[in-house]
Amino acid sequence: MRLGGLFALALSALLSLIGAATAQGNWPTRPVTVVVGFAAGGGTDVLGRIVGRKLSEVLGQQVVIENVGGAGGMVGSARVAKSPPDGYTIVLGSRADAINQTLYKKPLYNLLEDLVPVVLIADQPTILITRNEFPASTMPEFIAHVKKNQATMQFASAGAGSTGHLDCALFNAAIGVKVTHVPYRGGGPAMQDIVGGRVDYICTLTGSAVPLVEGKTVKAIAVLTKDRAPMLPNVKSSHEQGFTDLEASTWFGFFAPKGTPEPVVKRLRDATVTAMEDKEVQKQMMAGGAMVVAPERRSTEYFKAYVPKEIEKNGAPIRAAGLAME
């Protein structure tokens, strides 16, 4: 090949690198899609829309929330894992993603290899609620009733493999009962049937429950944590009522496809933290049942180290209880 030809190839490669670097530096230049792996109206969806609105202002581009439900959030995350690694399609992942890695015999993606943790955003406590007509109002009364009537009862979840499914399954195992599971395509549809009295109880995120509990369209039995949830101060914790065999909450954070350029990951992380620090966002998140994570937990490095620990932490009780999904 002639010298001129080699020079042309080298120049072309250099310009491509410069173009890619410039594109990364200018990111985003068009709308960003945030995939939520559950139906509209659930706790994950509510959180995504609160953060997404402010993130759009910070980035100067529209942030579009797209609900892609199925398999406890796994379908949505798998879609993002297969998306171009350019920062324009990300997923609001959660503890459900850590659960899926063990609960499913063949997960649709590898959380540690196919997605890049960007930033941890919030935590939400899990709450046990029932239909309004349920003949129990406290944790001891609830446990006694379920033990006596388990053969005819049903519990709902946001989907097979969702955090609520696992938490209720572990709760049922802890009190020694077997209750029929009714999976939905998100927390919103599941809550509609709780309100309608078509299923008996659900372990769900406080984000799904706050307006319904305050509106008295459902009955809150307990927040499944050691302390009461600040957004529902009148609901006693399970520990407070003598049940200490389970503590449940869910984390949320942004993930991008593997191979997403570091400058894009950093820009997304920084913009998200700016949105999280907005007082109105924090107020809306609290009203929606979520608490912004502490500053020391907001770095990409922290989230990268946190995810593998969460996979193991959630995997242990799944294996011990013999839970498995195809």
Q: How confident is the model over 55-59, as a mean pLDDT?
A: 98
Q: What is the pLDDT of residues 184-243, one digit of tens each?
A: 888 889 999 999 999 999 999 887 788 899 999 999 999 999 999 988 999 999 999 999
From 180-184, 262-266, 296-300, the region with the lowest mean pLDDT? 180-184
Q: What is the pLDDT of residue 43?
A: 79
**Which residues lie below 8 Å from residue 172, measured CB to CB, with a gap of 6+?**
146, 155, 178, 179
Residue that wins the pLDDT comparison between 151 and 5: 151
Look at residue 2 in the predicted model and tell me its pLDDT: 56
Q: Tell me, what's the pLDDT at 130?
A: 98
* In the chain, % of residues over pLDDT 70: 92
pLDDT at residue number 24: 53
On whether the CB atoms of residues 156 and 258 are closer than 8 A, the answer is no
Residue percentage of the chain with pLDDT more than 90: 71
d(C-alpha 185, C-alpha 271), whole Å: 30
- Give pLDDT tens digits for 276-325: 999 999 999 988 888 999 999 999 999 999 999 999 988 887 887 787 88
CA distance 46 to 31: 20
The average confidence (pLDDT) of the chain is 90
Q: Are strands 201-205 and 154-157 parallel, antiparallel or unpaired?
A: parallel
Average pLDDT of the segment spanning 121-137: 96
The answer on pLDDT for 8 being more than 80 is no
Stretch (H or E) spanning 34: strand 32-36
Ranges for all domains in the chain classified under CATH 3.40.190.10: 125-241
DSSP state of 60: T
Give the pLDDT band of residue 256 (cuts 50, 70, 90): very high
The pLDDT assigned to 111 comes to 97
* CATH superfamily of the domain spanning 125-241: Periplasmic binding protein-like II (3.40.190.10)
| Predicted local confidence at residue 181, as pLDDT | 94
3 state DSSP class of 245:
coil
The per-residue pLDDT for range 101-126, each reduced to its tens digit, is: 999 999 999 999 999 999 999 999 99
pLDDT band at 160 (very low <50, low <70, confident <90, very high): confident
pLDDT at 17 over 60: no
Does the pLDDT value for residue 268 go beyond 70?
yes
pLDDT number for residue 194: 97
pLDDT at 14: 44
For 120, which DSSP code? E
The pair of structure tokens assigned to 186 is 């998100």
What lies within 8 Å, CB to CB, of 29 at 6+ separation is 23, 61
Architecture of domain 31-124+250-321: 3-Layer(aba) Sandwich (3.40)
Residue 4 above 80 pLDDT?
no
* Average pLDDT, integer, range 149-158: 96
Does the pLDDT value for residue 13 go beyond 50?
A: no
**pLDDT of 21:** 46
In the chain, ranges of CATH 3.40.190.150 domains: 31-124+250-321
* pLDDT at residue number 1: 52
List the one residue out of 89, 96, 99 whose CA is nearest residue 65: 89
pLDDT at residue 205, rounded to an integer: 84
SS3 280: helix
